[in-house]
Each structure stands twice: as C-alpha cells, then as structure tokens.
Amino acid sequence: MTPQSNIGEHKETEVDNNGITSDHHQDIKSNPELLSNQSQDLTTLGDESITEQEKNIDGKSSLALTKEETVELTMASTSLPGEVFHGSVECINCHLYLSHYRIILTCEAREVVAVIPVANIDEIENRNPLVLTILCKEAKTWKLRFSTVEMACLWYKNLSHLAVDKSPIDKMFTFTLSSELHKQGSEHSNPFLWQIYQKGLKDGNGEESVEKEFNRLQYNKKHWRISTKNNDFKFCDTYPRKIIVPTSFSDEMLQTLDTARFLNRIPTAVWNCKETEAVLLRSSQPYIKFFMGPISEDVIYIDHCRKAIEGVNKGLHIIDARSYAAALANRTKFGGYETAECYPNTDINFRNLTNIHAVKAAFNELRTVLSSNEITDKGSALVQNGAWINYVSSLLETAIFTATLLFDSKKNVLVHCSDGWDRTSQITCLTKLICDPFYRTFEGFKVLLMRDWVEFGHKFLERNGLIPGKFTKLKKDKKYG
C-alpha cells in the first residue's frame, strides 16, 4: 500500500508511514498494543478482497456474505470465543477486518493498530465519496480511504448496517462470549477471559456489597437501616433490591410512598460521612398536585430523612440539578420541586445543569473540534470555551458544593434531577469520589459503578444507543440509503 495525499472536502489527517489514519493514535504508532489485547500477527487472516459479486450494491443485504466468502479467523489465540468474521478489505491506508463484534485495523506489517467494537460506533460519515469516517462514542475518529467509490459505498453499507443494528439484548456479543466460555470450561478457555468470566459471575450480585458498605461507612443504626421492601422489584423496578432508609420509617410506611416520587424513586441513602454522620441521599423529583402542593406522605418521609442525624440543628439540604425554570416547567407533567414552605427546615439549591439534549450537542461539538486536526490556539480556545467543558466544570462545582455541605454543615443532603438516573448519578458519584478515598481504588470504583449506576437503574443501553429509546436517532444516508 502506498500512502496517498489528503482526499476530501475537509482537511484529513496526514497518513503516516504505517498507512493508518486517526486523530488520536500518536502514541499507538510506537506501541500498537495499546488499543488491543490481541497483539498477535494477523497475517494468517489472509488478504480477502471484496469480490465482484459483493460490489453489487443493489443486490442482497450488505452483510449477506456466503459461507465461502466469510473470512474465518484461524488463530484461536486471536479470535474470541463465539466471534465470527464476516470479511476484510484492503483500504489505501490500512487493512480492515470485520466481525459481528468488532473492526480490526492493521497497518502494512499486519500489526493491530486499532480494535473498534461495533457497539462503540456512533456514526459512519461519507462526506467524501472515497473516504469513510468512523465516529466513535468516546470521541475517537478513524478515517478509511478506498480506491473506488463502489468499494467505499459497499463498506459504508456494511459498517452502517452494524452501527444501527438494534438486535435483541440477548443477541449482543457479550452474551455469546459468556455462553461460549461456559461451554468450553476452564480447561479449553483463555485463562485471562475465564478469570474475568468467573469473577463476573461471583460479583454480579451486589446485595452483599450493600451490607459491606453499610458497615464500612458506619451508618448510625439508630437512624438508618437496610430495607428489603424492594426485594421483588415491585416497589420500584429501577431501584436496588436493598435500599437504605430511615429506621423510623417502616416498610409498611414505605408502601404509602407509591405515588410520592417519579417512577417511585424515593430518597434513599448512598453514603454516610463518618466524621459528621451526615448522609447523602438520592431520588427523583416529587409529584406536585396542581393547586394542592406535594404528596403529604412525601413531606412526612422527607422529614424523617431530615431528622435522621444526631444533634439539635437538624436540617436538610436539597440539591436540584436542574435550573429553576426547568424544574418549574415540569409542573406540566405533575413534577416540580420542593419548597421551604411545604418541606420545613430544608434549603433548596438549583444547580442549572443542562439536560441530556444539551449534553449530547456539547459532546458532538467537542468531537468535531478534536477531529479537526488543527492543534492551534483557535482550536484550543474552542475546547476551553465549549459547552462540554462548561458542563464538566459545573458538574465538578456541584460535587464540591455537595461534599462541603456534608462535612461543614453537618446536615443530610438530598440530590435529584427529574428522573434521578443521569445528573443525579453523576453528582452523587463525584461527591463520593471526593469524600471517600475507598472509591478511588479499583475495588471501590467497582462498588461505586455497580451501586450508583447499575443497581440504581441507569439507562446504559439507551444512553449508549444500543437499543432504541427516546434519545436514539437512527440515521439513514440520502446518498447510499
């Protein structure tokens, strides 16, 4: 392969001697293993070019390759259990190998330069007829140059088909891999993969971690207890089986809160400050009746949360991640916010953090700047003054503010946004990282992710575009359909 000059309507990254193009791989050129656990030579894959039959873009489905045309990965140490390779193509600037799980890019020497999981592809762009741009969800960008428009067209359809594929969850590769490892057993599996598989089975249930955290954080059992009210997920299907609630509030009393908060995500404790016994809580927004105020049971429960601390100065700080205007707008769907008039001895602070629409737009703006290949003062200024940096800054400020309240005011703090699974998780996790060094360890960080994100129902699949959702938009190209 001979490196070619830049081609395209906008500026492309210069192709290096290895012939691979990326906006983020300067370090990878000297050490290709950084992006792949499989650093073996892929020469045995062969150089399977696209056949004339495959070039017929008006024919069958883009990935309808015959069994004979399928490129099998012959090195067991390179392929993953259950992985099936669909084909390969020699681009001008690299070799591309495609499976139903990932894309492997190699340079002239067949060294692996990049491994891109298909689920990590956000979008495939074709602004130039001969160049395909792979936009990844973590902001990396890869450009593939083809020798003919027909070839670029075919592989645009191939990659786009996988990128927007919304197959059932149980068809995702992670389940295939797990099933294959289970079939192979420890004797015939890769030791590293088998260890991860076994550990995943052991650590998959986070119920024990609740008790461990409760004891490690030294919750005052006079004020707080672990409730199994949600053991069957009937109380709240997006909350953990076990939740930490005020001791003074029984499970029978919890049942009265079934209409108090959005999605029944009631305030529950997620961290205890050993020094002050101030507790960090999280929830969704309260239901607010028109002309009638909040649900009376919610007011009573919040009062129990407020009083669940030693001392005479028992108040409650409420951190609302939204702006006041956004919180007020939620009144149209019977949502809203707490007020000091309805919730005695509470202080409400609105943090003005933008919603998911604005965050997505800010990320796309950041990715565009990072992929422009112009490391200039102008480009640096665009990043520093961009909406993404402003959002991250506001998020950190909110976490610091929350941590300060827990240590200095010695009062319990409740954090929520609208539904309580995006901005709320960000604030509580950052606050815990600031306050507690345990969460800065590998073991602690795993506990943090499992508890505050997985068990509290964060919509990972939808937010990552793996299943259709409210914010998932499947794009269809006008040119290539």
Mode of pairing for the β-strands spanning 279-283 and 268-272: antiparallel
Residue 218 located in a structural domain:
yes
Find the mean pLDDT for residues 396-411.
Answer: 95
CATH of the domain at 348: 3.90.190
> Where in the sequence is the domain holding 187, given as residue range(s)?
169-199
Residue 137 located in a structural domain:
yes
Could you tell me if 153 and 271 lie in one domain? no
pLDDT greater than 50 at residue 174: yes
Could you tell me if 434 and 326 lie in one domain? yes
Residue 14 located in a structural domain:
no
Please enumerate in sequence order all residues whose Cβ is within 8 A of that of 312, keeping only pairs 6 or more positions apart, or say none: none
**CA distances from residue 1 to 20, 108, 110, 147, 384 in whole angstroms, order as listed:** 11, 7, 12, 11, 39
Could you tell me if 243 and 150 lie in one domain? no
Q: Specify whether 417 is catalytic.
A: yes
- Token representation of residue 449: 């992710």
Residue 315 located in a structural domain:
yes
Between 132 and 107, the more confident residue is: 132
Could you tell me if 334 and 413 lie in one domain? yes
- Token representation of residue 160: 């786009």
pLDDT greater than 70 at residue 481: no
Predicted confidence band at 17 (pLDDT cuts at 50, 70, 90)? Answer: very low
Could you tell me if 285 and 390 lie in one domain? yes
Query: Which residue among the candidates 91, 153, 417, 435 is catalytic per the annotation?
Result: 417
* pLDDT, tens digit, 9 for 90 and up, residues 18-53: 334 444 443 433 443 333 333 333 333 333 333 333
Could you tell me if 309 and 178 lie in one domain? no
Per-chain mean pLDDT for the chain: 79
Could you tell me if 304 and 229 lie in one domain? yes
Between 378 and 440, the more confident residue is: 440
Could you tell me if 76 and 189 lie in one domain? no
Could you tell me if 148 and 223 lie in one domain? no
| Per-residue model confidence (pLDDT) at position 206 | 61
Residue 93 located in a structural domain:
yes
- The number of distinct structural domains making up the chain is 3
Which range of 27-41, 54-68, 219-233 scores highest in mean pLDDT? It is 219-233
Interior/surface letters 348-359, b for 16+ CB within 10 angstroms, e for the rest: bebbebbbeeeb
pLDDT greater than 80 at residue 285: yes
Residue 324 located in a structural domain:
yes
